Amino acid sequence: MASQRGEGETTATPLEPADRERARAIPEAAVARLAVYLRVLSGMADQGVTAVSSEELSQAAGVNAAKLRKDLSYIGSYGTRGVGYDVEVLVSHIERILGLTRNHSVAVVGIGNLGHALANYGGFPGRGFPVTALFDVDADLIGVPVGGIPVNHIDEITAVCLEREVSIGVIATPPPAAQSVCDRLVSAGVQCILNFAPVVLQVPDNVEVRKVDLAVEMQILSFHVARRADEAASVSNGNNGLGVDGMVIRP
């Protein structure tokens, strides 16, 4: 059953039983890719494209075509064999599965360098993630509007989060404060947390945490540089596996 998009229903669109079972079975990795497909498809829709094949879409999303079709199959069969997919239809179904038919209010905690950038960022509201609350401990910041939202004191976190129905908490405080901020978000009823502080957060089972760790990203890149440089070196000097277990000999 093909539904239309952008329906301003007040109640969150419930998934049908069949969809619900499917949603439970979607691999985490596929969910991440579905979000990417959604963005590509939205871009296509904006440019007036109405139909797309798995080959075209997979190219635009940078993945294998078979993988894309399998990912889409997790949410149902909405393509037409011999033709491809209707862009609008696909967009609306991915949105539904990802729970984007409902708005998700976001609270940012820690309005420093990163917090300011996040609060000022215009890309979230347009995608259904309005930033509706900001928190910090710094007295100089309290009451100051950032990106149009005044900063609240962290002590008000429970009241404000409940009042504004915050469903996603973003942690952008220094590492030592992160766990305590996390605990406060959790007791304020926030069940989803995006953590920028380089610490491992402890949370109850019913809370979902995702972390963005730039230092780790850089170190992974570093690993690949090193590996590459090393491969190049081994090609140029043809050194084989002799001299095991020795200290490094330098000329």
Ligand X SMILES: NC(=O)c1ccc[n+]([C@@H]2O[C@H](COP(=O)([O-])OP(=O)(O)OC[C@H]3O[C@@H](n4cnc5c(N)ncnc54)[C@H](O)[C@@H]3O)[C@@H](O)[C@H]2O)c1
Partner DNA sequence: TACCGCTTGTGAACGCATGCACAAAGTCGG
Partner DNA sequence: CCGACTTTGTGCATGCGTTCACAAGCGGTA
Contacts with DNA by CB under 7 A lie at: 27-30, 53-55, 63-67, 69-70, 72-73, 77-85
Q: Which of 93, 161, 196, 201 binds ligand X (CB under 6 A)?
A: 196
Long-range contacts of 142-150 (CB under 8 A, 24+ apart): 146/111, 146/115, 146/116, 146/119, 146/120, 147/116, 147/119, 147/120, 147/121, 149/119
12 scored as a contact of its own copies (CB under 8 A): yes
Q: Which of 49, 83, 117, 144 binds its own copies (CB under 8 A)?
A: 117
Residue 68 or 182: the one with the smaller Cβ distance to DNA is 68
Minimum CB separation of residue 25 from its own copies in Å reads: 11
Tokens of 78: 């909405």
User: Strand pairing partners for 208?
Assistant: 192
**Interacting partner of 29 out of its own copies, DNA, ligand X, none (Cβ under 5 to 8 A depending on kind):** DNA
Residue 15 or 137: the one with the smaller Cβ distance to ligand X is 137
Window contacting ligand X (CB under 6 A); options: 40-48, 70-78, 98-106, 115-123: 115-123
Minimum CB separation of residue 206 from its own copies in Å reads: 7
238 scored as a contact of its own copies (CB under 8 A): no
Rg of the Cα atoms in the chain = 23
Q: Alpha-carbon distance 195 to 183, whole Å?
A: 13
Q: Alpha-carbon distance 107 to 129, whole Å?
A: 10
162 scored as a contact of ligand X (CB under 6 A): no
CA dist 233 → 126, 228, 241, 242, 244 (Å)? 49, 9, 14, 16, 18
Give alpha helix (H) positions in the chain. Answer: 17-25, 28-46, 54-61, 65-75, 87-97, 113-120, 157-163, 175-187, 214-237
Of residues 70 through 89, those in contact with its own copies by CB under 8 A are none
Q: Alpha-carbon distance 171 to 207, whole Å?
A: 14
**Interacting partner of 110 out of its own copies, ligand X, DNA, none (Cβ under 5 to 8 A depending on kind):** ligand X
Residue 56 or 183: the one with the smaller Cβ distance to DNA is 56
Window contacting ligand X (CB under 6 A); options: 2-10, 17-25, 67-75, 104-112: 104-112
Q: What is the DSSP string of 193-223?
A: EEE-SSS-----TT-EEEE--HHHHHHHHHH
144 scored as a contact of its own copies (CB under 8 A): no
Window contacting ligand X (CB under 6 A); options: 7-15, 64-72, 96-104, 166-174: 166-174
Instruction: For residue 14, give the nearest of 122, 97, 73 by alpha carbon.
Output: 97
Window contacting its own copies (CB under 8 A); options: 46-54, 149-157, 177-185, 219-227: 219-227
